[in-house]
A and B are shown apart, each in its own frame.
Chain A
Amino acid sequence: MIMTMVQAINRALAQEMERDDRIIVLGEDVGRDGGVFRATEGLFDRFGPERVIDTPLAESGIIGASIGMTALGLRPVPEIQFLGFIYPAFNQIVSHVARLRNRTRGRFTVPLTIRTPYGAGVKALEHHSESTEALFCQIPGLTVVVPSSPYDAKGLLTASLRCDDPVIFLEPAKLYRAEKQEVPEEVYEVPLRKAAVVREGKDLTIIAWGTMIPVARQAAEAAEGEGVGAEIIDLRTLSPMDRETFVASVRKTGRALIVHEAPKTCGLGAEIAATIGESALLSLNAPVLRVTGQDITVPLPKSEDLYYPGPARVLRAIRKLMEY
């Protein structure tokens, strides 16, 4: 069936809820309203108010309550309406979700999936455009997942819902309805902790995820016209990171470009660049480059294009790498 990413997410939730009555969806407006992006549309009618719970407006309460549900064997799927509103729940996530398995030596685990839209490009107001994935990648115990296509969204979310570790599932809001794609009706998993080579090329490696995958593709196609073959790695799981796939690619191409929406300093690009330095230094024909969001607060929509990477900025970096 041809569908958008938000529809694919909805299908994954519905099919897993059908299969497993331990799955509970909770959050603000997820019930009757079907979520502000309609990701949970229809679930309330199908599974009832006991499994699709409209909660009070309280992010720490939502995540805290989800943790408690896992103590009694449930697998909650809390939704935080926008990543920019997750901070009141940060204490629950960092101090409990991430570490309960370790601090109880495996006696208590927290198999929950926190779904939240992230990123700029939806002409939203302040605090609705954040891309702060690196904050979560610094926390041991969390699995951070970002899909870039409807097919991956369904498969990665299904895998997340079945994962015994807590997952932060970041949904690129800009891509919710940006493209339609054939998505199988049957249930399938796209494995966590596994990056994908989404475009092959011999001259350089672009490492990106989420909203930056379409941007990288456009830049790669433009570069193709200039005789440059760009390989694109979609990281998909940001933490724990599949280092092997991009290291192998860089060993082949000899050039690496990291593209992310988040600010440059201490962004995930720094970790990726360091890994390439550790593991593929002698394969490099040029320094590792990054095209990222600026180290400033995400601007309001009128100036968004100055902030976050578009195909032209990526193409400029590709040329720089090739001319080095």
Chain B
Amino acid sequence: MIETFDPLKGERLRILDESGQAAPGLDPGLPDAELRTIYERMLRTRAADAKALKLQRQGRLGTYPPSRGHEACQVGLASAMGRDDWLFPYFRDLGMYITLGYPLADYFHLWMGNEAGLKTPDGLNIYPIAIPVGSQIPQAVGAGMAAKYRKLPIAIVTTFGDGATSEGDFHEGLNFAGVFRTPNVFICLNNQFAISVPRARQTAAATIAQKAVSYGFPGVQVDGNDVLAVYAAAREALANARSGQGPTLIEAYTYRMGDHTTSDDAARYRSKEEVQEWERRDPILRFRLYLGKKGLWDEAYEKAVQDAAAEFVEKAVAEAESRPAATPEDLFSYTYAAMPPELEAQLADLKAFLAEGRR
């Protein structure tokens, strides 16, 4: 399917139209239970995201990058991943964390300002989020090289925004991936803005997907507000990676509905009309219409899912807020495998200072 949508010809994979109608022959044919699971993950993502914004305004959570509008990209992609696959995420991947089973309490704990939230639970193959833009891309490729060396039939996924494609690390990473034919799936969430700078200022190329051509592997642009399109493209790219057929670049064409972070005001650089136009293409709304047509959605189901999402989120907040504050030992113990004498001395001095009490 990926090869049939040529980004150089301006073709974009879309399965669901805005009325929720699936294109004949393209529907990936997921079982009903799985479709509902995807929908439930999308709603949980939106609920958790809205809660994080609320907590930030109340001073209970730090600067936060909202995910609203990205639910189809995040949940579609992560739902296609296997337990043994790896994710090298960027910083706006809430739905992927929820889908892959990362404890939401940990996720909140991180954004509340404690590194402990970034300690991936054992058994989950999620590398810590990359804040320096694009720097995770060559890392994901190295993991791909290692998977190949160890002959593991796994795929390595990495996510990034449109701004990251301007970084040198994007080029270096994709170039390595092409040369070494690594089992990588690169997902660019093209949400049209890198903070305030529009996509057209990142590249003169007509699409981001077509950049794959110059690295010697396939690229495809998908409708990023169509969860089935993201899922189908990811499933195929992941299978190709796991079976030794090399990397794929997927450009998920979407829109960042919120601000870049809670410190940003998107109204300074984009119009209300543009945002309203994208509201109409809401990924959750579209998938809901699709489920309705299949007889998998009604008001009672919606309420049950919303209630469960709210409970899921509230539980996570309560747990995150009940965690103890970091101790001086927590701060000093993980810089080296064994603490050097200078750090021991600084830790002892800090503790002595704290013991003296503030005057």
Q: Would you call the interface of chain A mostly helix, strand, loop, or mixed?
A: mixed
- Docked complex Cα distance between A243 and B140 (Å): 38
Kindly list chain A residues whose C-beta atoms are within 8 Å of the C-beta of B357. none
Kindly list chain A residues whose C-beta atoms are within 8 Å of the C-beta of B168. 60, 88
- In contact, A108 and B173 (Cβ under 8 angstroms): no
Kindly list chain B residues whose C-beta atoms are within 8 Å of the C-beta of A106. 119, 333-334
Interface residue B237 (Cβ < 8 Å from any Cβ of A): no
- Docked complex Cα distance between A300 and B139 (Å): 36
Contact with A along B83-107 (1 / 0, CB 8 A): 0001010000000000000000000
**A55 with B147: in contact, given A71-B139, A101-B335, A104-B120 (CB under 8 Å)?**
no
**A69 with B142: in contact, given A60-B169, A64-B137, A141-B335 (CB under 8 Å)?**
yes
Interface residue A165 (Cβ < 8 Å from any Cβ of B): yes
- Docked complex Cα distance between A64 and B136 (Å): 8
**A67 with B142: in contact, given A56-B179, A61-B176, A105-B118 (CB under 8 Å)?**
yes
Interface residue B340 (Cβ < 8 Å from any Cβ of A): yes
Of A51, A68, A103, which contacts B118 at CB under 8 A? A103
Kindly list chain A residues whose C-beta atoms are within 8 Å of the C-beta of B337. 101, 109, 163-165
Of B86, B138, B149, B152, which contacts A92 at CB under 8 A? B138
Chain A: CB-nearest residue to B130: A96
Interface residue B132 (Cβ < 8 Å from any Cβ of A): yes
The A/B interface has a contact count, at CB < 8 Å, of 145
- In contact, B139 and A72 (Cβ under 8 angstroms): no
Q: How far is the CB of B321 from chain A (nearest CB, A)?
A: 19
Interface residue A19 (Cβ < 8 Å from any Cβ of B): no
Q: How far is the CB of B29 from chain A (nearest CB, A)?
A: 33
Kindly list chain B residues whose C-beta atoms are within 8 Å of the C-beta of A95. 131-132, 135
Chain B: CB-nearest residue to A65: B142
**A69 with B115: in contact, given A56-B179, A143-B336 (CB under 8 Å)?**
no
Interface residue B268 (Cβ < 8 Å from any Cβ of A): no
- In contact, A103 and B340 (Cβ under 8 angstroms): no
Q: How far is the CB of B11 from chain A (nearest CB, A)?
A: 30
Q: Which B146-202 residues sit within 8 Å CB-CB of chain A?
A: 146-147, 149-150, 152, 156, 168-169, 172-173, 175-176, 179
Interface residue B330 (Cβ < 8 Å from any Cβ of A): yes
Kindly list chain B residues whose C-beta atoms are within 8 Å of the C-beta of A71. 86, 127, 139, 142-143, 146
- In contact, A65 and B335 (Cβ under 8 angstroms): no
Chain A: CB-nearest residue to B330: A105
Interface residue B341 (Cβ < 8 Å from any Cβ of A): yes
Among the interface residues A53, A67, A106, A193, which one has the most CB atoms of the partner chain B within 10 A? A67
Contact with B along A67-96 (1 / 0, CB 8 A): 111111110100000000000100110011
- In contact, B145 and A104 (Cβ under 8 angstroms): no
Kindly list chain B residues whose C-beta atoms are within 8 Å of the C-beta of A165. 336-337
Size of the chain B interface, CB-CB below 8 angstroms: 46
Among the interface residues A55, A56, A65, which one has the most CB atoms of the partner chain B within 10 A? A65
Interface residue B128 (Cβ < 8 Å from any Cβ of A): yes
Q: How far is the CB of B211 from chain A (nearest CB, A)?
A: 16
Kindly list chain A residues whose C-beta atoms are within 8 Å of the C-beta of B333. 106
- In contact, B172 and A61 (Cβ under 8 angstroms): yes
Kindly list chain A residues whose C-beta atoms are within 8 Å of the C-beta of B130. 96
Interface residue A50 (Cβ < 8 Å from any Cβ of B): yes
Q: How far is the CB of A32 from chain B (nearest CB, A)?
A: 15
Chain B: CB-nearest residue to A244: B341
- In contact, A68 and B149 (Cβ under 8 angstroms): no
Interface residue A272 (Cβ < 8 Å from any Cβ of B): no
Q: How far is the CB of A59 from chain B (nearest CB, A)?
A: 9
- In contact, B145 and A65 (Cβ under 8 angstroms): yes
Chain A: CB-nearest residue to B333: A106
Interface residue A120 (Cβ < 8 Å from any Cβ of B): no
- Docked complex Cα distance between A69 and B172 (Å): 16
Chain B: CB-nearest residue to A101: B334
Q: How far is the CB of B102 from chain A (nearest CB, A)?
A: 12
Interface residue B299 (Cβ < 8 Å from any Cβ of A): no
Contact with B along A155-186 (1 / 0, CB 8 A): 00000000111000000000000000000000
Q: Which A2-17 residues sit within 8 Å CB-CB of chain B?
A: none
**A58 with B341: in contact, given A103-B128, A104-B119, A106-B119 (CB under 8 Å)?**
no
Kindly list chain A residues whose C-beta atoms are within 8 Å of the C-beta of B118. 103-105, 107
Kindly list chain A residues whose C-beta atoms are within 8 Å of the C-beta of B274. none
Kindly list chain B residues whose C-beta atoms are within 8 Å of the C-beta of A58. 172, 175-176
Interface residue B141 (Cβ < 8 Å from any Cβ of A): yes
Kindly list chain B residues whose C-beta atoms are within 8 Å of the C-beta of A244. 341
**A72 with B169: in contact, given A55-B176, A165-B336 (CB under 8 Å)?**
no
Q: How far is the CB of A195 from chain B (nearest CB, A)?
A: 13
- In contact, A65 and B139 (Cβ under 8 angstroms): yes
Beyond A69-B143, A76-B142, A106-B334, 9 additional contacts (C-beta under 8 Å) are A53-B145, A61-B141, A68-B156, A73-B146, A74-B146, A92-B135, A100-B128, A103-B115, A104-B120
Write 22 A-B pairs (CB below 8 A) sorted by A numbering: A53-B145, A58-B175, A60-B168, A61-B138, A61-B141, A68-B88, A68-B141, A68-B146, A71-B139, A74-B146, A96-B130, A96-B139, A101-B336, A103-B115, A105-B115, A105-B330, A107-B118, A143-B336, A240-B340, A240-B341, A240-B342, A241-B342
* Residues of A in contact with B (beta carbons under 8 Å apart): 24, 50-51, 53, 55-56, 58, 60-61, 63-74, 76, 88, 91-92, 95-96, 100-109, 140-141, 143, 163-165, 193, 240-241, 243-244
* Residues of B in contact with A (beta carbons under 8 Å apart): 86, 88, 115-116, 118-120, 122, 127-128, 130-132, 135, 137-147, 149-150, 152, 156, 168-169, 172-173, 175-176, 179, 330, 333-337, 340-343
Leading 5 A-B pairs by shortest Cβ distance: A64-B138, A68-B142, A65-B142, A61-B172, A240-B340
